Every structure is written in structure tokens, then in C-alpha cells.
Amino acid sequence: MDRDHILLTPGPLTTTLQTKLAMLRDWGSWDGAFNAVTARVRKSLLAIVHGEDSHVVVPLQGSGTFSVEAAVATLVPRDGHVLVLDNGAYCKRAARLTSMMDRRCTVLPFADHEAVSPAAVRQALVNDSSITHVVLIHCETGAGVLNPLQEVAGLCAEHGRGLIIDAMSSFGAIPIDARSTRFDALIAASGKCLEGVPGMGFVFIRKAVLDACAGRSQSLAMDLHDQYVYMEKTGQWRFTPPTHVVVALAEAIAQFEAEGGQSARLARYTQNFRTLVDGMAALGFKPFLAPDIQAPIIVTFHAPAHPNYDFKRFYEAAKAHGFILYPGKLTQVETFRVGCIGAITAVEMEQAVHAVALALKDLGIPSGVPAGG
């Protein structure tokens, strides 16, 4: 092929040439010029959630999951009690890492085709006063559900519980405003809706709870309070930073701002989503989720009912036509996922639908109609 494959996944994502080119220079990790890039990125991130007055932002090396683990370890005291709202694979991961850090963890389960129920959350908080923190995955990309952040944040504020938001796949696209949504921590990463490259997470921490976080983490590398204090004092990262990732993110944020920020990014992703869903419907494919809880981030489709369908073969056929799809995360029904995010437009989504049509033809599958029609 004469171009990179288009990544229709929840991350890593397709990036622009400008973002790729930003990584061609080497940077000294203690150099003043690099420290200035880090400071600029942190300032820009705070502006996206209007958190300049209420929060600090702490970057961390590693994948987004590193930062989720770091946030739980730093925010939740050793004798704390975390309620994880679970309607998918990434919620289950949050519960697992919470338990592995010896924090008490209770899971409030929901079906993977349902959004979190605020009424059920309210009841759980009323029933158990020992719960100190609630973990919510804003966009659960296991199926693509958009969970009710505003309602859950209101309940946590009403009942005096801390809220930890995994906004990995929503930050930068779905509106989040720290002025009207109270949260103790919000976690996102470089390689998602900001369209940087993977390798760096970041955690917004509410200033009112920051001092109490000192000494809570049992991890040296993932102690966000220690990372924050050191960064404020020196302008530097405590340990070797992902320099190329940071400068690529700075460039990606500049493009984000030039495009028009969060509202413009959501508009483009929504157009991508609409183009995808309409085009796939014409091929017979059916989305897994009801439209009212579907985020325009990633769409789960039922697999075709035809006996020739096998995801690995379907994946390779679509890849041969230039597009990388994503396997399903569900255990009860066979699905696959198609992302709508990254440095792509409706033009690439039209091409993706065409690639899926060609893949079906290659496999001898007449349509994407699932079992049961």
C-alpha cells in the first residue's frame, strides 16, 4: 500500500502528518525547552475542562491504564471503599486494579447494553455509607456506551463521595466542564480523542483533595502526588519522560485548538459516526446498542450470521483494503467494533464502509445481516 492503514480502533489512532513529524527531533528530558513544552501541554489540558481554578493536571508515563491505577492508588486512602459502576470490560479492569491495590472494592453491575442507572447508584450510596469513592467509565468502549456523567457526579456531590472518572475515550470530544461537574479525579490519555500518539496518561485532581493524597500510593512510579510536587518544584518529570510522545501531544493539541476545540471535534466524530452507521446499515449490519446510549466514539456491530464469517479472516480482508477494525469485547454475542475517532473524516468512513463491502465479497458473505435479522 502507498499509505498507512487507517486505524478504526479506540486507540492508538490515525494521526496527522504534522503530529508524526513532531517526533523527529530528540529532546533532553531536563532541558528548559522540553520543560516548557510540558508546561504548555498541562496548561492546555486544564483549559479543555475549564479546570484552571479547581484542578491540577498531572501527566504520567505509560498507557491510560497506568494512570487509572495511579489515580485510584493516589486518591483512595488505604481504608477507603470504592464503588465501581460496571457495564463493560474497562469497568471490570478498574475493579480488578482497585482490588489488586488492596482497596476495598464493590461492583455495581449493569448489562453491557445498558447505561449506568443513576437511581441504582443513588440507592447504593444510601445503603452503604462506607463507600468513599465512585469510579465511572464515561464512555465504556467495550460496547460503546455513553454513561450519564452529569447525573452520577451530582449524586456523588450530594452524598459527599469522591468521583473518579475514566474519561479515556471521551476527553476532548464529549463535553466535560469542571465548573459544573464536580470530580476528584479525571483520567485521560494522549492517544485518544486529542489524536496524539500513545504513551502518556494524565490525571486531573481537584485542588481541595490534593494535599490529603500525600503518601497514599503504595507505588513510587505511580504516586501522582509526588509527581505533581516534583513537577511544580522543578518543571521536570521525576523519571525519564516519553519526550517524543509529549511533543507530539503538544502538536496535536495545537491542531485541536485550531480545529475549534471540543465542540468541533465532537461534530467531526459525530459525522464520522453517522456516515459509518448509515453505510453499514446499507450492508445489512446492525449496531449492538440502542441509539440513545450510543457514544459517537466506537460502534459495536453484530457479526454476520453467514457461516463463512470468522473475525480473523474478516479483519485480514478489511486490512487488505486499508482499514484496521477491532474485535468485540462481549462474551455473550459475537461482535466486532469500528472506531469513529482519530485524524479521519467522513470521507475515510465512506471508504471504510466500502472496504467492509469488499471484505464481505472476498469471504463470500452476501450481507452483514446478523442472526435473527
Comparing CA positions, the residue from 122, 140, 139 lying closest to residue 131 is 122
pLDDT at residue number 1: 43
User: Cβ distance 57 to 51 under 8 Å?
Assistant: yes
Residue 177, classed as helix, strand or coil, is coil
CA angle at residue 89 from 168 to 178, to 5 degrees?
30
Nearest to 299 by CA among 175, 141, 189, 88: 141
By CB atoms closer than 10 A (0-12, 13-18, 19+), residue 89 is middle
| Each residue's pLDDT expressed in tens, for the chain with a length of 373 residues | 456 899 999 889 999 999 999 999 999 999 999 999 999 999 999 999 999 999 999 999 999 999 999 999 999 999 999 999 999 999 999 999 999 999 999 999 999 999 999 999 999 999 999 999 999 999 999 999 999 999 999 999 999 999 999 999 999 999 999 999 999 999 999 999 999 999 999 999 999 999 999 999 999 999 999 999 999 999 999 999 999 999 999 999 999 999 999 999 999 999 999 999 999 999 999 999 999 999 999 999 999 999 999 999 999 999 999 999 999 988 789 999 999 999 999 999 999 999 999 999 999 999 999 988 7
Cell numbers found for residue 91: 469497568
CB atoms within 10 A of CB 104: 16
Shared fold status for 6-10+260-363 and 18-258? no
pLDDT for the residue numbered 332: 82
> What would the grid cell of residue 214 be?
500525600
Q: How far, in Å, CA of 289 to CA of 272, rounded?
A: 17
* C-alpha dist (Å) from residue 18 to 48, 254, 257, 343: 21, 10, 14, 11
**Using CA atoms, how far apart are residues 337 and 277, in angstroms rounded to an integer?**
12
Angle (CA) 79-176-78 rounded to 5° is 5
Domains of the chain by residue range: 6-10+260-363, 18-258
Residue 238: predicted pLDDT = 97
Fold designation for 6-10+260-363: Aspartate Aminotransferase, domain 1 (3.90.1150)
Which grid coordinates are listed for 72?
Answer: 485510584
- Given the candidates 3.40.50.300, 3.30.1300.10, 3.10.270.10, 3.40.640.10, the CATH classification of the domain at 18-258 is 3.40.640.10
**Phi/psi zone of residue 316: left (φ > 0), alpha (ψ -120 to 50 degrees), beta?**
alpha
> 342 to each of 17, 88, 239, 254, 308, how far by Cα in Å?
12, 22, 29, 15, 31
Task: Check residue 198 and report its DSSP letter.
Answer: S
